């Protein structure tokens, strides 16, 4: 079908469907033929604004820059927070494995046996009699903390607790504050 321009219309339209052509919308009470240019004016507006001006683009770029300035510092702290949360989850998982070990063997592994005792049967005294084949924790090795350091384990602790599991934080050294603060099974119990 060939498009033919209509005298009132700047756009190529089909004569039957051109909104500039008068159409009968309704009959009765003084309504007869009426010109419906609403659709036509929207088409003209749509075709006449084909892009953004340089000013509009500059405003958008400035707004994106302001948002980035405000949000980037908040996003940059999130990985450290995620590592601390993962360390707490790891400590809880190791605690669960230690509790299963105690149920089967009547006590926790000693400090000398370490956390390896929940992965493979200890060969140092006291040797567990009911050690579960396959271990108490999935995997072939004890997980490291999110910073790549081994978890510290003591049982019994110097102050008489059954055990303590510690991640020394991002610096890998005992003590510290902020991102270097230790994550201990004792502190997790308090949370």
Residues 174 and 94 in one domain: yes
Find the domain containing 38 and state its range: 4-48
> What does pLDDT average to in each consecutive run of 10 residues of the chain (191 residues)?
48 55 47 46 52 86 85 74 90 93 94 94 91 89 92 91 92 87 85 57
Residues 100 and 147 in one domain: yes
Residue 126 within a domain: yes
Quote the number of domains for the chain.
Answer: 2
Secondary structure letter of residue 144 according to DSSP = B
Residues 13 and 104 in one domain: no
Residues 92 and 20 in one domain: no
Residues 24 and 109 in one domain: no
Residues 22 and 92 in one domain: no
Q: What is the pLDDT of residue 78?
A: 78
Q: What is the pLDDT of residue 159?
A: 87
Residue 115 within a domain: yes
Residues 93 and 170 in one domain: yes
Q: What is the pLDDT of residue 112?
A: 94
Distance CA 9, CA 21 (A): 9
List, for residues 40-73, the tens digit of each pLDDT value. 444 445 445 567 788 888 899 989 888 887 777 7
- What is the secondary structure of 17-28 as a DSSP string? T-TTS-EEEEEE
Residues 175 and 106 in one domain: yes
Residues 86 and 136 in one domain: yes
Residues 142 and 183 in one domain: yes
Query: What CATH number should be reported for the domain holding residue 182?
Result: 3.30.700.10
Q: What is the pLDDT of residue 32?
A: 45
Q: What is the pLDDT of residue 34?
A: 44
What angle is formed at CA 157 by the lines to CA 154 and CA 161, rounded to 5 degrees?
Answer: 120
Percent with pLDDT over 90 in the chain: 37
């Amino acid at each position: 079908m060939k498009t033919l321009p209509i005298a009132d219309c700047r756009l190529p339209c089909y004569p039957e469907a051109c909104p500039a052509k008068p159409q009968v919308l309704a009959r009765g009470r003084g309504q007869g033929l009426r010109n419906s240019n609403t659709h036509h004016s929207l088409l003209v507006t749509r075709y006449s604004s084909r892009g953004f001006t340089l000013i509009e683009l500059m405003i958008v770029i400035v707004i994106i820059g302001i948002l980035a300035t405000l949000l980037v510092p908040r996003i940059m702290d999130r990985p450290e927070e995620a590592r601390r949360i993962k360390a707490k989850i790891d400590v809880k998982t190791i605690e669960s494995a230690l509790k299963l070990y105690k149920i089967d063997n009547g006590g926790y592994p000693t400090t000398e046996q370490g956390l390896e005792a929940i992965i493979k049967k200890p060969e140092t005294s006291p040797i567990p009699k009911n050690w579960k084949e396959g271990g108490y924790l999935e995997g072939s090795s004890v997980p490291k903390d999110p910073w790549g350091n081994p978890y510290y384990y003591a049982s019994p602790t110097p102050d008489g607790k059954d055990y303590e599991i510690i991640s020394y934080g991002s610096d890998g050294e005992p003590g510290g504050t902020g991102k270097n603060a230790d994550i201990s099974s004792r502190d997790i119990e308090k949370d």
